[in-house]
Structure formats: C-alpha cells, structure tokens
C-alpha cells in the first residue's frame, strides 16, 4: 500500500515565510501569497496571521498591505501595538503607513531563493 503525499498546509507555509522577514523590514500579504504560488490570495495570508497562536511568536507586525499601510493593526493586543513593534525595530510609521516602504520592502521571491 502506498502512502499518500503529505497535504501542504498554506497557513504553515505563510508562517515559515513570515518567520524569515528580518527585523526592520516589511513585506506585503500579496508578496507572500505570490511567493507561495497563490497570487491573488493576499486575504488568505491575512487570515493565516490572524489564526496564528500567540505562543508561536510569528512577527506578523512586519506584514502590511501593498502600499505599506498597517491594515492588520486591529488584530493585535491594542490598536498601536503593530506600529510600536515596527518602531522598536527602526521602522518609521506616519499616519498608519510605513515611511520609505519601498526601501524597507522585503520580497520573499528575491530573498528566499
């Protein structure tokens, strides 16, 4: 009897990518989805990050929308937690948006060759 191949878990794949984002850098939900071969599934990446257990310590604060907005901030312990975590890593945030987003952007398709 042959064993079935292990089913790929999208959420686990998201966590593995997010764990590799260096401190002081940011990426987008869409960039992660594209890297995982699921272009157009940016919302699923967001759902995965919302579903992550706090004990896992996923640096979800480093994932923003495609223009650098902190769209996931409402899912943290308190409203300014995402911004505070980014600023502790040297990322400047103004009006809920990463300053110099393009300069700080970490593209998994280029970084995880």
- Measured distance CA(89)–CA(108) in Å, rounded: 19
H or E element that contains 33 = helix 29-35
Query: Residue 57 carries which DSSP code?
Result: -
Of 56, 64, 62, the C-alpha closest to 12 is 56
CB atoms within 10 A of CB 110: 10
pLDDT in tens, 74-85: 889 899 999 999
pTM metric for this prediction: 0.90
Region at 64 (left for phi over 0; alpha for psi -120 to 50; beta for the rest): beta
Say if residues 101 and 107 touch (Cβ distance below 8 Å).
no
Say if residues 18 and 59 touch (Cβ distance below 8 Å).
yes
pLDDT in tens, 58-103: 999 999 999 999 998 888 989 999 999 999 999 999 999 999 999 9
Compute the 3-state secondary structure of the chain and give helix, strand, coil in percent, each to the nearest 5.
Answer: 45, 10, 45
């Amino acid at each position: 009897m042959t064993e079935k191949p292990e089913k790929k878990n999208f959420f686990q794949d998201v966590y593995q990518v997010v764990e590799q984002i260096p401190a002081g850098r940011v990426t987008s939900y869409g960039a992660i989805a594209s890297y995982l071969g699921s272009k157009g599934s940016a919302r699923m990446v967001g759902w995965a990050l919302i579903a992550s257990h706090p004990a896992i310590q996923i640096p979800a604060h480093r994932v923003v929308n495609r223009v650098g907005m902190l769209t996931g901030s409402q899912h943290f312990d308190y409203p300014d937690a995402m911004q505070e975590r980014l600023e502790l890593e040297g990322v400047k945030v103004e009006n809920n948006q990463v300053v110099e987003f393009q300069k700080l952007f970490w593209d998994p398709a280029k970084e995880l060759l």
